[in-house]
Chains A and B, each alone.
Chain A
Amino acid sequence: EAGVTQFPSHSVIEKGQTVTLRCDPISGHDNLYWYRRVMGKEIKFLLHFVKESKQDESGMPNNRFLAERTGGTYSTLKVQPAELEDSGVYFCASSQRPGAGELFFGEGSRLTVL
């Protein structure tokens, strides 16, 4: 069975540009999460989808970030316009049951904003 896949693995963009990160969860996992790790710091929660609905988006840093999960399958996270402080590794995770902790993570998408 395929795990959580993320694309791209690494993106380098200029400040002010737009980037879209994609996450394909494990098939059948209704719960999808986005997390972010800024250089050397802790991994922080961004948001949680249950199917196509946003269950909790309390961790989204500002309105430059837009997450979608059309049809309850894959999810995208768009950053527009990107700022220097958005650089980091964006992790996606999915789970079958809603209880946190039993999460399956992707390898992460590294974003570098110059």
Chain B
Amino acid sequence: GDSVTQMEGPVTLSEEAFLTINCTYTATGYPSLFWYVQYPGEGLQLLLKATKADDKGSNKGFEATYRKETTSFHLEKGSVQVSDSAVYFCALSTGFQKLVFGTGTRLLVSP
């Protein structure tokens, strides 16, 4: 079945460091790919998405490129802030009305 694999956390970085959170997927067909973020005490929020190969999603300085050849959708940010501390979830959808999530990666950014 469809699945998403994320790197284990927590990821601990200093402010202004470069961030990469790896995400790979297995899916039948051509999924849409997403990154959701959960800040402390809040619900999940859509951070960015890409719906076809080579698309790049971006938001709030975060980027991820849909790589069909490597079945990956890695999340990157050039300079993280303390306020980026959260749990990040990679997810896919094959259009059947539901999302398949990864296990989540906790990011901790220190000043």
A binds B: yes
Interface on A for B, CB 8 Å cutoff? 3-4, 31, 33, 35, 37, 40-45, 48, 55-56, 59, 91, 93, 98-108
Once the chains bind, are A40 and B103 in contact (CB under 8 Å)?
A: yes
Q: Name the interface size band of chain B.
A: 20 to 34
Listed residue (A35, A48, A105) with the most chain B CB atoms within 10 angstroms of its CB = A105
Once the chains bind, are A45 and B99 in contact (CB under 8 Å)?
A: yes
Contacts of A31 in B (CB 8 A): 97
Contacts of A43 in B (CB 8 A): 44, 89, 91, 99, 101, 104
Once the chains bind, are B99 and A108 in contact (CB under 8 Å)?
A: no
User: Quick check: is B69 within 8 A (CB to CB) of the other chain?
Assistant: no
CB distance from B29 to the nearest CB of A (A): 13
Contacts of B32 in A (CB 8 A): 100-101
User: Quick check: is B61 within 8 A (CB to CB) of the other chain?
Assistant: no
Once the chains bind, are B44 and A45 in contact (CB under 8 Å)?
A: no
Contacts of B98 in A (CB 8 A): 33, 45, 48, 56, 59, 100
- In the assembly, what is the distance between CA of A55 and CA of B31, in Å? 20
